[in-house]
Chain A
Amino acid sequence: MVQKVTINIDGMSIRAPKGTSVLDAALEYGICIPHLCHVPYLSDIGACRLCIVEHVVNGRAKITTSCTLLVEEGMVILSNTEKVRKLRRNIAELIVAEAPNSRAIQDIAIRCGVKEVRYPFRNNDCILCGRCVQVCTGRYGVKAIGFVGRGKDRRVETPFNLHSDLCRNCGACIDVCPMTVVPCDGPMKVGEERLCGKCEPKMAFAEETPGFCVWCDLGEGFQCERYTLGVRNQAYP
């Protein structure tokens, strides 16, 4: 028998099995917490910081990532306050500036309410979300790729940048990589990167009911857990 705990997210009481993360619990109940580096069923590393929420302890709120926060009896979480939205928007803005050349990244920026990007576009081809590393390590346990270096030299690589003997060519790392989703208008030219923003009209509905899952099409693009799990087991309408 799985033990369940009761937590409170945005004023709602939610029952969740012990050991699940706040993010999973929230998504299960249709509370939208945008997330990017989280891959269903795999352990979380909290790399993208998009899933931040306020965790209220003794009347004081602490900002923390919900994917690495495990549910505890009586926990109080605020997932959609002005403060959280502002920080989240800023994080998404930084990510899209770093790597605008992906529909998934563009989508998550729109979902987080980014309207303009105040940072220079860099056109990187990796945002270091670690999804590829997680899927390689967690699902297949092979560890053919990993994070290498530190600071601005941090990157994902096979050991010594040679083909790894451990790699099974399964392609899972590519499937989960947000950078492999081509922008709607095709790849952006160097120097012409921008915030696409075309999907923004789709978000009008979402803005009326902030914090709730509206099955935004965008979620499909950045592999929102609601989509990846919902489509697979048909548990949701």
Chain B
Amino acid sequence: MTDLKLASILEGRRSQPHQLIEVLQDVQERYGYVSEEAMRGVSRELGVPLTEVYGVASFYKAFSLKPRGKNIITVCTGTACHVRGSKMILNQATGQLGVSPGEMTKDGLFTIEHVNCIGACALGPVVTENGSCHHHMNPGMMRKLIESLGDRSPEDFSHG
């Protein structure tokens, strides 16, 4: 099953080392994360040493090496958002869900992450939730956001 998915991603790109980042992006999109197995497969099929695949995958924030929750909440902790209290928002989220940043909740519903600036500083503090952007956030709004997402039934989710 998984191998079929990977095979379709690699279709037409085998033995093309320069495609590495694009392939990893597709893996990230389809699986939600880049697994060890996927990296081994990519390395074999593209002819890129595993060290390099691992090095690239671990270098970019866009790739996650661990499975991620259904809801990905990203708190911006860049300078502009930081001075407007993004730390408190992050603490609210991690405290409420009982996880540390980058970790998935036990029920697999949430992953909280933080990034350094998403380029919307004027709207800060900024939080993105499954790709959509929430501006001028505060801890209270964060709590409500998580509550509303937690209430949704799992079928409502499709991310990618």
Contact = CB atoms under 8 A, between A and B. Distances in A.
Interface of A: 143-150, 157-160, 164, 166
B112 interface: no
A147 B36 contact: no
Given A148-B54, A149-B58, A159-B54, A166 B36 contact: no
Among the interface residues A145, A159, A160, which one has the most CB atoms of the partner chain B within 10 A? A159
Interface in B55-82: 55, 58-60
B59 A159 contact: no
B54 A166 contact: no
B51 A143 contact: yes
A145 B49 CA distance: 10
Interface in B17-75: 36, 39, 49-55, 58-60
Given A159-B39, A160-B36, A166 B58 contact: no
Is chain A's interface secondary structure helix, strand, loop, or mixed overall? loop
Interface residues of B, number: 12
A132 to B, nearest CB: 12
Given A159-B39, A160-B36, A146 B51 contact: yes
Contacts of A143: 49-52
Closest 3 CB pairs of A and B: A146-B51, A143-B49, A159-B54
B58 A164 contact: no
A149 B59 CA distance: 5
A148 B58 contact: yes
Nearest to A153: B58
Given A146-B54, A159-B54, A160-B54, A166 B49 contact: yes
Given A159-B50, A166-B49, A146 B36 contact: no
Given A143-B50, A159-B53, 8 more contacts: A143-B49, A145-B51, A149-B58, A150-B58, A159-B51, A159-B54, A166-B49, A166-B51
Contacts of B52: 143, 146
A128 to B, nearest CB: 13
